[in-house]
Chains A and B, each alone.
Chain A
């Protein structure tokens, strides 16, 4: 039965990502002075789990890399090595590297093999006690000899090495030297070599049994091979055949020996070691099977049936234990005429009190990642399908309710109350289905300690990151999309906000700056604040810069308006362009991304005291609180978050500019007017402005007055993509199905406000 392992890859990838994230969080949280054993154990376990799974699913590069990491972590955990800051750095770097490898396996990006070699060399260097801290990574794999660590259980591997040396190498001693080199790593067999008269030029095949890793010797082979004509494959089945599995000879649960229980049937093609049962002296009732010889023996002398195991002959006099409930015993029904062999239960031997191997049950780590007891993984598609179905249900329910309402008095009372019940049920159902897609924002926040740590080091600043509200939940889709803008805001705070320690001290502040990251719910929104106690925004400098760039600014502008200028394309307030928040991505992109999510970003700042950026997002992209408006015989939906007020224009409120663009005076402000029936080319019920309604909209500071026939009401609507079902339409962000089954378009307020503004500017 062949099992396709690739079906398990996705789970493996997700799981490894989780382990890496947990490892990083734990590492950043470690107190170097007094490392917490629990945390060290948890870090070790994360590396250990990745290694185990990677090996199982055949990702050898990952397994090899984590193997070194795990050994080092194991020694720290056992307190053989003292944890140092440079180790934490190396661990964090290894984590990045493993992440890159994982991504490469998922077809995203490439892995820089130089970097891999460098990080591995660094880890090996760290694992030798006297290692001097490595200041920087040299992209050269240092041939560091790792001292043999008998305490570390190592894995014996068998590699098949095939190569064709260059003529130059073959004529010299290169091939012989290579063989000598490899022999230092383990046992080397020459399986196949060129004919003698070819002077070593030709095909070579070697077999190396070693505890080293592939990466320890491949570069030497590559060096002498002709144009990359080399291949190293790990022969897993041949490795450690004698210990691939085994049964303790006299432990509970053994099958009886009439089952033809033979040990280690020779696996096709692989030489097996002769296994001999070594029965220890009677007083010491251990019966390990130990290989006699280290060297593999040819396959033909495979172990014979009945010789490859050794039970302690059970004493015939031992009565069979009474089977109480027929289950829970590992007996096999005795075959007729076969004497039942009972398990000889050996009282557990006290394990020598050895500090090394003392088994301590692990208590749950503080933020254990393995708390999967009560959760299941469900694909996002399934959840989305569920959300869609519930959306349909809500629509159907609304339709029924509307029908009944139209029947007025003639509707049976029980029908009316039943529908009221149904409305509550569908709302609850919708809410709980929506909550399935909700994730705590800690999924994003967790990456920032690392960002701040790395960046503040790079900039020579001292920064403390404080987070609160990590458990605040929002939609998974938003979580994924908010990560980049937030990262950028934090980088911006670090780069432009927080001053250097010297400057801070000069300004009478603590040398250590603080960045606060906060999340909380407010109404139907989630609010995320990125604050810093840095220099604040320099109003005059921003104005000067804006003038330089030819933006229309004046000294009368409010602070808010001035600060918003930094969201204009290509605006940077750093005195020198750094590679940190510059990076070709400006705050304009941040704002655009946040707006694309239906969100807003605001800035507050006091010069010399600090800056706070506030991001507001809807909780989900699937539902919208909307106001429905009527134009002619059509209904449109305005996202409620953009609606400021509605009013009936008085005669004289509306003025027409030279080019037919109209403005309306609202509380001393002139707002551009957008006439919705003109935009969509509809027949309006009104020709006179004073008969309809003006809805004042505010899209990130761009205000407009939208003229509609009337207001219909407020609803929560399920957003359907117009693009997916029809095509993109200017001024429309999506569609929804109303209770009466009609489709209503959801207006793209930012675009509409933009239209109005450009009309008026042309007129200006």
Chain B
């Protein structure tokens, strides 16, 4: 059974690219438009990996990661945050929130697949 990835990003074009890329690589993808939407979708269906952007309306990435880590269902699911900021401060916050890792935007599709493969095979 294909692994399911939840991609959370408020940019439609990035969502489309991520989704297309991951589907091409054989994963199932669920898209969410912001943290709130992502949280609802993650609760509705268990996913094997969450990719989330940081800056989003309604709920940002860090809050989403914290909220997911707060549920037993997602206590140890890999969560990667996509961030345009490669600053250590942002990483520390991501780590403190419970992120598994980070991926700096902009990234190319190959890089995305490479990272996802590393994390969930």
Contacts and interface: CB of A to CB of B under 8 A. Distances in A.
A328 B55 contact: no
Given A15-B11, A15-B12, A252-B69, A345 B75 contact: yes
A686 interface: no
A296 interface: no
Interface string B65-92: 0100100111111111000111111111
Contacts of B60: 359, 361-362
Contacts of A345: 75-76
A144 to B, nearest CB: 24
Nearest to A50: B11
B13 A11 contact: yes
B58 A363 contact: yes
A282 interface: no
A245 B115 contact: yes
A330 B100 contact: yes
Given A288-B91, A357-B93, A359-B93, A330 B77 contact: yes
Given A345-B76, A348-B97, A359-B93, A56 B107 contact: yes
A286 B79 CA distance: 17
A7 B24 CA distance: 14
A259 interface: yes
A63 to B, nearest CB: 7
A3 B21 contact: yes
A575 interface: no
A373 B35 CA distance: 12
Given A52-B14, A254-B78, A373-B33, A45 B101 contact: no
A51 interface: yes
A244 B119 contact: no
A251 B62 contact: no
Given A53-B14, A349-B96, A361-B59, A245 B20 contact: no
A148 interface: no
Interface in A282-335: 286, 288, 321, 324-325, 327-332
Interface stretch (A364-372, A477-485, A667-675): A364-372
Interface string B100-121: 1111111111110111001111
Interface in A237-263: 237, 240, 243-248, 251-255, 259, 261
A525 interface: no
A368 to B, nearest CB: 5
B76 A253 contact: yes
B119 A351 contact: no
A42 interface: yes
A190 B74 CA distance: 50
Given A246-B101, A252-B69, A348-B96, A329 B87 contact: no
A726 interface: no
Contacts of B107: 56, 244-245
A370 B38 CA distance: 14
Given A240-B86, A244-B104, A53 B11 contact: yes
Nearest to A352: B92
Contacts of B80: 245
Given A1-B113, A357-B93, A52 B84 contact: yes
A373 B121 CA distance: 30
B17 A5 contact: yes
Give the residue among A330, A373, A377 with the most B Cβ atoms within 10 A: A330
Interface in B3-53: 10-14, 16-17, 20-21, 24-25, 33-35, 37, 46-49, 53
Contacts of A370: 10, 33-34, 56-58
Contacts of B93: 351, 357, 359
B24 A362 contact: no
A634 interface: no
Given A236-B108, A248-B101, A253 B24 contact: no
Contacts of B104: 240, 243-245
A55 interface: yes
Size bin of chain A's contact surface: 35 or more
Contacts of B12: 11, 14-15, 372, 377
Nearest to B15: A11
A248 B59 contact: no
Contacts of A254: 78, 100, 119
Interface in A428-460: none
B68 to A, nearest CB: 10
Contacts of B84: 48, 51-52, 55, 153, 155
A359 B90 CA distance: 10
A57 interface: yes
A345 B75 CA distance: 8
Contacts of B74: 328
A1 B25 contact: yes
B121 A52 contact: no
B109 A251 contact: no
Given A255-B121, A330-B78, A362-B60, A52 B96 contact: no
Given A5-B17, A261-B118, A330-B77, A252 B72 contact: no
Contact of B103 (A244, A349, A359): A244
A237 B111 CA distance: 9
A56 to B, nearest CB: 4
A56 B14 contact: yes
Contacts of A8: 13, 16-17, 20
A348 B69 contact: yes
Given A245-B101, A348-B96, A372-B33, A362 B20 contact: no
B41 to A, nearest CB: 11
Given A63-B106, A330-B48, A364-B57, A248 B113 contact: no
B92 A286 contact: yes
A55 B20 CA distance: 18
Given A48-B55, A246-B101, A373-B33, A57 B13 contact: yes
Interface of B: 10-14, 16-17, 20-21, 24-25, 33-35, 37, 46-49, 53, 55-60, 62-63, 66, 69, 72-80, 84-111, 113-115, 118-121
Given A5-B17, A240-B86, A328-B46, 17 more contacts: A3-B110, A11-B13, A12-B13, A14-B12, A44-B55, A49-B10, A51-B84, A52-B53, A153-B89, A248-B91, A253-B119, A328-B73, A328-B74, A330-B76, A348-B98, A351-B93, A359-B60
19 contacts: A8-B16, A11-B13, A15-B11, A15-B12, A48-B55, A52-B53, A52-B106, A56-B17, A153-B84, A153-B87, A155-B86, A246-B101, A253-B49, A255-B118, A261-B118, A288-B88, A288-B95, A328-B74, A365-B57
